[in-house]
Amino acid sequence: MSCLRNFLITPIFCIVVVIASLGLLKCFSPAVKPEIAEDGWWALEEKPKDYPNFLKFQPEEFKIKFEDHMIKDLKERLSKTKFASPLVDTKFHYGINIEHLKSILLYWQNVYDFKKYENELNKFSHYKVEIEGIKVHFLRAKTTAAKNVKPILLIHGWPGSIWEFYKMIPLLLENGSFDIICPSIPGYGFSEAPHRQGFNALETARIFRKLMHILGYEKFYVQGGDWGSLIASLLSAAYPNSIEGMHVNMGIPAYARKSALIKYYLSQLFPSSFLDEIDSAKTTFIGSFFNVLLETGYFHIQGTKPDTVGVALQDSPAGLAGYILEKFSTWTNSSYKDLFDGGLTKKFTLDELLTNIMIYWSTNSITSSVRYYKENICNEDLQFRWSLVPIEVPSGYADFPNELVPITKLGVETKIANLIHFEHMERGGHFGAFEEPELLSKDIIKFINKVEQLKKDEQLKNSK
C-alpha cells in the first residue's frame, strides 16, 4: 500500500491541482442551461413517420419469470467454472476472495430457491410501456389511502436494480400516502436496452418524465442513489416544473454555485472554520481521490471499453457474481476488504445478493448496463454544461457515513441551491435503500413532510 501511495502521490497532487483549477474556471463561467431535446429514438428500426405521441401508449402488465431452461443452463455453467489459484490470505484486497466465491457459487447452484425469489420479485405489480421506441419496465406500489397521494419516482443505480428498494417500499407505504413508481433504467434488468448510441442520464431523465406523465403525474417527487442521484439531479435541473422535491443519497460533483464552490475549496484547507464536527472529520478531497483510485478501476473500463468486459460477464455467471459481489463488499464499508468473506452478509443475505445478480443474468443486461458509463462519461453536455446548472427545487440529502466518496454539506451545495434538508445518517454506505431501508425511508418521509409544509405555508401566505 505504501509503495502504491508513494508511486501515485506526485501525479495525484498534479491531478488535484488541475481539477481545482478547472473548478475555479467553471465557477466563473456563465451558467447557460443547455438545450434539451424533446424526443429521442432508441429502437433498432427507423422511427415511423406516423409514430404516435408517447401519451398514446398505455402500460401493459408484466410478470417476472426465471425460465426453467435458463436455470438449467446457469447451473451447468456454474458447475464448469474455471478458477484461478488463490493467493494466501488476500481477503478482499485483490478483489473478490476466490475461496469464498467458490462457496457462494455452490450455494447458488444447489441451495438458492429460484422460484421463491421469482415470486418475491412479483409481489409488487410490474408493467412495461413503450417510450421512444423501447419498452420501459417499472414497478408500481400504491398506498390504499385515496387522499393526498404523493407520487415518488425511485431510481436505482449500478450494480443495483429495482430489487434495492424492495425492503424500503413497504416502509414508505406504511408511513405515508404514496404512489411509488420504480423503473428499470433502459439497458438494466427488465427494461429494453437502447439499440443506438448516445443513451445517457439526460435521455433517461426525459424518458422517466414521460413515464410519469403517462401515469397521470405532471409533478412528482424523485429519489435516487448512484446513477439514480444523477438522473434525479438532471430531472430537477432540466425540468424543475415537474419536480415537487428531490431527495438523493449520493453527491454529484458540480460547479453550479460560485459562493458554495469557493467555500468548499476553502473548507478543504480550513475544515473547522466551515464544516460541522461530522463533516470536518471526513476524508479530505486528496484522501478521497486516492481511495477512489483504489476502488474505481471498473469505472475506467466501463467508461471506455464496456463491450469488451461485457463479453466475459455475460458469458460467465461466476464472473458476473464475482464482479458484482465485490462492489457490495467495499462499497458498503471499505473496511470489509479486511475480512475473508468481504462482510457480504453483514448487511445483506446471500439470497438478496444473488437475486440482484439474477436480474442481470436472467435478462442478459450486464453489457448494456455497463455501456451506460461510456455514454455518460463521454458526454460533453453532462460533464461540463449541466454541471454549471444549479438545482432550484426543494432538495434533501441523506449523508451515509460509509459512502465510497464522502461529501460534505458544502459539497452538496455546490450543485443544490435550495437544500432544505441534510441529514447525517447513523450508519450505512453506498447502497442506502438496500442496506438501511428503515433509516432511508424515515429520512425521505421527513424530507417530503418539510416540502409539503413549505407548500402549505406558501399557500397561506398567498391567501392573505
Say what the pLDDT of residue 319 is.
98
Q: Is 183 exposed, middle or buried (0-12, 13-18, 19+ CB in 10 A)?
A: buried
Say what the pLDDT of residue 13 is.
42
- pLDDT tens digits, residue range 441-451? 999 999 999 99
* Residues 333, 341: Cα–Cα separation, whole Å: 13
- pLDDT tens digits, residue range 269-309? 777 777 787 877 776 555 666 777 788 889 999 999 999 99
CA angle 234, 64, 193 (to 5 degrees): 40
- pLDDT tens digits, residue range 224-250? 999 999 999 999 999 999 999 999 999
* Residues 240, 260: Cα–Cα separation, whole Å: 21
Among 425, 395, 423, CA closest to 409: 423
Say what the pLDDT of residue 320 is.
98
Say what the pLDDT of residue 9 is.
41
| Residue 153 pLDDT exceeds 70 | yes
Q: How confident is the model at residue 464 (pLDDT cuts 50, 70, 90)?
A: confident
**Cell numbers placing 16:** 488535484
- pLDDT, mean of residues 303-328: 97
Number of residues that this document lists for the chain: 464
- pLDDT, mean of residues 9-37: 55
Residue 267 identity (one-letter amino acid)? S
Residue 166 identity (one-letter amino acid)? Y
Say what the pLDDT of residue 21 is.
47
Say what the pLDDT of residue 285 is.
56
CA angle 416, 417, 419 (to 5 degrees): 70
- pLDDT tens digits, residue range 64-87? 999 999 999 999 999 999 999 999
Question: Global pTM?
Answer: 0.91
| Residue 385 pLDDT exceeds 90 | no
| Residue 15 pLDDT exceeds 70 | no
* Residues 282, 401: Cα–Cα separation, whole Å: 9
Q: Which helix (H) or strand (E) holds 420?
A: strand 419-424
Q: How confident is the model at residue 2 (pLDDT cuts 50, 70, 90)?
A: very low
Say what the pLDDT of residue 267 is.
73
Say what the pLDDT of residue 289 is.
65
Of 50-59, 278-287, 384-393, 404-413, the range with the lowest mean pLDDT is 278-287
Q: Is 425 exposed, middle or buried (0-12, 13-18, 19+ CB in 10 A)?
A: buried
Could you tell me what percent of the chain has a pLDDT over 70?
A: 91
- pLDDT, mean of residues 429-458: 96
CA dihedral 52, 58, 61, 66 (to 10 degrees): 30
Contacts for 21 with CB less than 8 Å, ≥ 6 apart: none
| Residue 47 pLDDT exceeds 50 | yes
328 close to 431: Cβ distance less than 8 angstroms = yes
- Report the DSSP beta bridge partners of residue 60: 128
Domains and CATH numbers, the chain: 54-463 (3.40.50.1820)
Say what the pLDDT of residue 381 is.
80
Would you name the residues annotated as active-site residues?
A: 226, 373, 430
